[in-house]
Amino acid sequence: MEYNDMRFKIPHESKSYQNDSRFVVEAIESIIKDAIDTGNNRIILNTNLKLGLPMENINKIAGPIIEAWAYEVFHNIKDNLDNVFHLVNAESMPRLDMADILLQFKKNSSSITASVDTKATAEDIEGSGKGPNITSFSRIRSAYIEDPDFMFIILSLKHKVYSQRNSNSLLMDGIMEIVRYNAYDLKFLSDNDINYNPALGTGQIQVKDVHYVEYEYRTTWEFCRLLDQKYLKSSRRSFDDWYREAIKNKWIKE
C-alpha cells in the first residue's frame, strides 16, 4: 500500500477563495499601515528600573506584547461599524489555538473569516524571523479537510526596541515600535518557503523567512498534498506514520 493508493477525502474550496484571500490580506495590511501612519505603533513599558529594561533580552518578551497590540488595533477598528476596512469582528483566541486572532470581514453580502497568526521579529537582530514554527502538521492538514475555505493568515510584525527617559518619573521607559509588516495566506506560500520540522508531536510547519516570501496560487487539495510530501520526505517519518495520522484524523475514506 502506497500514498497514491489512498482514497482521499478531497476538499474543494469556493471559486471566490483566491479573491477573498487577497481581500483579507490587503485589509489586514491596510489596518497595520494605518496604525503606523497615525502613530499608534508604539508600546510603552513603564518600570521602576532607573537604568531601563535589559535591552539585550527584551525581544524574548516581545511576542505576546506585540500580539496583544495587534489584537487591540483590530478590536478598536471593528467597534466602528462604518470602518473602511469592512472589519466586523475580532476575537482573541485561546493560548493553545492554532491562531492568535480570529477576524471576520464583510464582503458584499457575505462574510469572510480569517485565522491570524502573529509573528513578532526584531529589526535589529540578524536572523530574526527565520524558521519560526507556525503550527503542527496534523492540525493544519485537518483544518483544510474540515473546512476547504479555511484561511490561515500569517501576520509578520517587525519591531525595534529602545529606552527613553520619562520626563515625569525620571525613570527609563522601554519603547516597542512596530516599523514594518507583511501579511500572507499560508496556503499560497511557495514550496521553497515552507519547511517541515519533525520535532514536537507530528512535526511543525515552518516558514523559512517570514519577511521574504513568494506566492504560488494553488487549490486546497494541492496544498494538502504539498504538506503530505513535506512530511513524507522527512528522514524521521514513514508512510506508516502518515497513514496512522490519516486514519486518526479522517483524511481518507474508510
pLDDT in tens, 199-229: 888 999 999 988 889 999 999 999 999 999 9
**Domains recognised in the chain with CATH numbers:** 15-249 (3.40.600)
Please state, in angstroms and rounded to a whole number, the distance separating the CA atoms of residues 102 and 141. 19
Total-model pTM: 0.91
What's the pLDDT at 132? 81
Which segments in the chain show pLDDT lower than 50?
Answer: none
Task: Using alpha carbons, select from 197, 151, 126, 107 the residue that is nearest to residue 17.
Answer: 151
CB 220 within 8 A of CB 15: no
Q: What integer pLDDT is reported at residue 61 of this predicted model?
A: 79
Calculate the alpha carbon distances from 124 to 9, 13, 127, 154 in Å.
45, 40, 9, 21
Report the pLDDT value the prediction gives residue 129, as an integer from 0 to 100. Answer: 52
The grid coordinates listed for 221 are 487539495
**Of 230, 208, 226, 204, whose CA–CA distance to 216 is shortest?**
226
Per-residue pLDDT at 41 = 94
Tens digits of per-residue pLDDT, 140-182? 999 999 999 999 999 999 988 877 777 777 777 778 899 999 9
Please report, for residues 32, 103, 129, the alpha-carbon distance to residue 93 in angstroms, rounded to integers and kept in the order given: 19, 10, 22
Report which secondary-structure segment, H or E, holds 102. strand 101-107
Sign of CA dihedral 226, 231, 235, 240: negative
Q: What is the DSSP letter of 94?
A: P
Rounded CA-CA distance 102/39 in Å is: 24
**Helices and strands (DSSP H and E) totals, the chain:** 5, 9
